[in-house]
Structure 1
């Protein structure tokens, strides 16, 4: 009976930013994350094959000298490639590798703050312990003949535990996400329509915002504001309006819904105008615009 009355699991999460704004996010499913990881590995394998051919070409050109040196160079390149690819890509403004971008995913901090370099490094270095180190040990150990059957079984069991770890927690976290304090969320962009501004929102035309006030937030926050307006929950609208007013330093008495309609319309127009000139502000942390 307890299991029957238990609420169904959902991937929707509420993330509260340091400004007190509640953002509704949807976690990436385990299947989607696995697909993104597979796409990234196909990219890495293609680069690795090209690098292997180059090393072989140099090996033959020099006259088959120093084979150990070339083997060490290849191993170092493989280590740097698989670590810095994920770290550098997720440290960028889009916080996503090519595989995540193809499936419209991104990495965010669970505390609602900015995704730090330390968190990105931590979550990706953990992948070495989770997957690469045991599999690399097994591959080279088997080649040298000093890995027995039980060691092989334990190595694959170790990798499998971490590989399927997201299936056994409701937040779909890898061990690296658990340590770094991150989520992988869906980043799908919906078309922003005029239907969000209700009929009584026409009064919002009377409310104006300065360029400095419109420069506070970016596309990510605009999408979250869109979610709040679509749900039309009175408590959420009151809380978000208060947070934005506090952030902008405004003290007007206009209704909260009209204020948000007005700011949404103005912010959307400002971001679209900048986009025409090639300046994209992805979120409130993006200063490149």
Structure 2
């Protein structure tokens, strides 16, 4: 292991250094992250809204085509077709609701924790405490989005369409939406109201290049998924205790190349798998474990089996 004074930590640097943060995981490991800029978040939201509107448009067109086809089937006589028409209207309302809410929930609860808009600008949702992003946190931050943005906009547009909106109502709605939209500009972590309540933040992604960057001295996994011979060999039981989330965390630790973090994680893994930790060889040990764990998870995925984290059931 290299001397601590010579080690240069891998640091994720953004265009604005004020957005660089250190996130401490529940295991006590410090990881460098960059908070997403307000412009990136606004761009992602705009893209997501365009996508949602596009999906709603497609559903609307499909409904109109069904209505047109139904009208032809009954020779245009829709007087006695109130039941099917109401059913179609209910289906449309449910579809719009799902696109507005389930869209964000589905993608942010996924492995990448990012909607299509966030992926396009290279950002994702993460837990501020460094732990795993929970379903409760994702649901909370998206429920608040309704209060922040969608419900006021629906109220304003419906009031304008019905001609019942006064100047005071219009200004009040405009100020309400503007207050929440500008809220990320007035806190250092660029949090919106939903992030404050849910304990989340939005951070920049880093493109992963798992070759020489992650484990330069570890032996590579062969094309057939076999783990090459190294000084450390792990049994299936040793590797079955962790999943994809822990693999990603280990990858970040190897990228950081911080001696203290390497020592903590190596000791934690040894305790978990029943090994006696050594000293001075932490990086080589972690590289070997990373290589073996990654190979095992990739083999399992070929058979349609995935283990997201250590809390998921064993295969």
Q: Same fold (TM over 0.5)?
A: yes
Please state if 1:44 is matched with 2:52: yes
Please state if 1:261 is matched with 2:287: yes
- Which of 23, 33, 36 pairs up with 1:14? 23
Partner of 2:130: 112
Tell whether the 8 Å contact from 2:47 to 2:117 is kept in structure 1 after alignment: yes
Q: How far off its partner does 1:130 sit?
A: 0.2
Aligned length: 280
Partner of 2:7: none
The aligned runs of 1:83-102 (5 Å cut-off) are 83-102=101-120
Q: How far off its partner does 1:160 sit?
A: 1.1
CA RMSD of the aligned region, Å? 3.3
Partner of 1:4: none
Q: Which has the higher helix share?
A: 1
Please state if 1:30 is matched with 2:30: no
Partner of 2:160: 142
Shift of the 27–284 alpha-carbon distance from structure 1 to 2, 3 Å rule, reads: farther
Q: Distance in 2 between matches of 1:97 and 1:83?
A: 12
TM-score (norm 1): 0.80
The aligned runs of 1:190-205 (5 Å cut-off) are 190-194=208-212, 196-197=214-215, 205=230
TM-score (norm 2): 0.74
The aligned runs of 1:159-178 (5 Å cut-off) are 159-178=177-196
* CA deviation map 1:145-200 (0-9, x unaligned): 22122221221111011112122212221111111111222333321224655669
* Structure 2: gaps (5+ residues): 1-16, 72-76, 220-228
Tell whether the 8 Å contact from 1:44 to 1:81 is kept in structure 2 after alignment: yes
* Structure 1: gaps (5+ residues): 1-7
Q: How far off its partner does 1:271 sit?
A: 4.1
